[in-house]
Amino acid sequence: MGLLSNPDVSKNDEGYKLLNSGNKVEGLKLIREAALNGQPNALSTLIWHLVIDDQIKSAIKDYEIAISKTVQWIASEKSRIDKLWFASARDKSMLIDHYQYQVANSKSNIALAYLALGKEDIATNLWNEAAESHGHIEARFYPIFHLCKSNPNASIGVLKNSFTKQELQSLIEDLVQASTLGNGWFSRWAKSGIEVLKKASQGKTSMLQDSKKVAAAGGAAAIVAKNLNKFAKDQIEESLDEGGEPFDWLQDLF
């Protein structure tokens, strides 16, 4: 028996392989089975794909069934691997931390589903939990990305103070990919937010200066920065489609 010798881990890994090979139906079926047993990796993957596919209510239903099971699943795995004499304490600790991170990842992903249904308070609380437990980058970004539509000044200010340009570009790349996978709520949310940030960042010096006053908002700053990174992502694709260089408009932020 090894560190990863768990039937739910094996089921999730097989489902992931099928998913990447193009067999999405069978892949997600296996991943869902592992997720509903409490396997954290499977749950975060399942929720993400359900949100992307605009299966919002299904995402929430599966999350609410499985999230409490992740606690016992991780506890059982910790008890099992603690008995493995050949594995180092460091490797064991890293694996358990990885599982706990995937729980935070699941919370960040499902927060999008609650937001899609207009339950902003629940979404915000889940993002806060994910950000506080593991500094989850999407959980820090999404709330700010959402804020940018109503308050781009604050969003830009927090973005500059919470993320490097490289981090922002990476987050934008992820958002671009995700926003082009469908025409559901998530895709529309991503594209509209990106457009707002792009316009706000171009040629409005006074707004950028004013935003600095809003940037030092403690925990809120971390959340705001997260959403702005997602905004930048879709702009890569748009810039390339228009024959421009990726992130040209980001220069106005730095």
- Would you call 253 helix, strand, or coil by DSSP? helix
pLDDT of residue 248: 56
Handedness of CA 146, 147, 149, 153 (dihedral sign): negative
CATH of 7-132, one of 2.30.30, 3.30.70, 1.10.10, 1.25.40: 1.25.40
Taking residue 186's Cβ as centre, other Cβ atoms within 10 Å add up to 23
Q: What is the mean pLDDT of each run of 10 residues along the chain (254 residues)?
A: 92 96 97 98 97 96 98 97 94 97 97 96 95 88 81 72 74 74 85 75 48 40 43 39 47 52
- What is each CA distance from 109 to 38, 50, 105, 113, 166, in whole angstroms? 16, 10, 6, 7, 23
Dihedral pair phi/psi, residue 139, rounded to 5°: -65, -25
Task: Give residue limits of the domains in the chain.
Answer: 7-132, 137-253
Residues 6+ apart with CB under 8 A from 45: 12, 16, 19, 31, 35
Coarse DSSP helix, strand, coil percentages of the chain, rounded to the nearest 5 percent = 80, 0, 20
Taking residue 67's Cβ as centre, other Cβ atoms within 10 Å add up to 19
| Residue type present at position 168 | L
DSSP structure class, residue 181: S
pLDDT of residue 226: 44
pLDDT of residue 203: 47
